[in-house]
């Protein structure tokens, strides 16, 4: 057998929110925040996307920043030269009566996150997916339908999705332009999350760098 060179891996970072046990005091309050505006759509789609504006949740966002720092460390990037901005944040709630999320992406942000405030192994799972697989060099060879089945089994080279079962208190960070959705859990136990989007720029003192987004304080609004 020859050697396989694995190139361009996608990084989904899974960390922990240190203040989780203390932050759980807001579980009921955040659940009501979701239900108060429920019209068969999540707060993300009904404009209730500024959870970060409430100072009582500051402890969570402080811990989130630490995780973003660690995410960039894994990418071998100097996070001390970067500034993070929460552009949107909202509450997500799912159980057996509420449809799972369809594949989607957030093209207006750089990093997206999901914090699992309440969850179990039987809750809906987190899934990232791709519309096409670059390794499928001959059309249809990765299909598993009854009419066409050339695939012997799924592995990391031929699958179009990857599933994660996060534990309560964990947070996932991933590129916002990646398709993601939920996959039904075994019993669809109640799941409450805080999700959101992050914009990333260089710090003001790094504005002379050739690459990277300059700091918003150095922009001009027209």
> Per-residue pLDDT tens for 68-127?
999 999 999 999 999 999 999 999 887 777 767 788 999 999 999 999 999 888 888 899
| Helix, strand, or coil (residue 59) | helix
Q: Confirm if 42 and 94 have CB atoms less than 8 A apart.
A: no
Q: Can you say how many angstroms the Cα of residue 30 is from the centroid of all Cα atoms in its chain?
A: 19
C-alpha 217/C-alpha 205 separation (Å) is 11
pLDDT tens track for 6-35: 889 999 999 999 999 999 999 988 877 775
pTM reported for the whole predicted model: 0.90
Provide φ and ψ at 50, rounded to 5°. -125, 50
The C-alpha torsion from 139 through 145 and 149 to 152, rounded to 10°, is: 110
Q: Confirm if 79 and 68 have CB atoms less than 8 A apart.
A: yes
pLDDT-based confidence at residue 36 (cuts at 50, 70, 90): low
Give me the domains of the chain, ranges plus CATH numbers: 13-130+165-213 (2.60.120.620)
């Amino acid at each position: 057998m020859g050697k396989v060179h694995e190139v361009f891996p996608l990084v989904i970072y899974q960390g922990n929110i240190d203040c989780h046990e203390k932050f759980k005091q807001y579980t009921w309050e955040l659940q009501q925040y979701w239900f108060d505006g429920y019209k068969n759509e999540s707060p993300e789609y009904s404009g209730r996307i500024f959870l970060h504006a409430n100072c009582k949740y500051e402890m969570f966002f402080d811990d989130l920043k630490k995780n973003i720092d660690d995410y960039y460390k894994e990418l071998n990037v100097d996070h001390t030269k970067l500034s993070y901005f929460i552009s949107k944040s909202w509450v997500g709630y799912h159980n057996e009566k509420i449809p799972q999320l369809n594949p989607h992406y957030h093209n207006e942000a750089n990093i997206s996150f999901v914090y699992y405030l309440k969850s179990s192994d039987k809750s809906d799972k987190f899934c990232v997916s791709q519309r096409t697989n670059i390794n499928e060099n001959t059309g249809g060879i990765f299909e598993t339908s009854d009419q066409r089945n050339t695939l012997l089994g799924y592995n990391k080279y031929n699958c179009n999705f990857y599933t994660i079962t996060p534990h309560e208190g964990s947070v996932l960070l991933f590129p916002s332009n990646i398709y993601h959705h939920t996959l039904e859990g075994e019993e669809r136990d109640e799941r409450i999350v805080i999700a959101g989007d992050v914009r990333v720029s260089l710090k003001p003192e790094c504005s002379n760098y050739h690459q990277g987004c300059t700091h918003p304080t150095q922009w001009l609004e027209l």
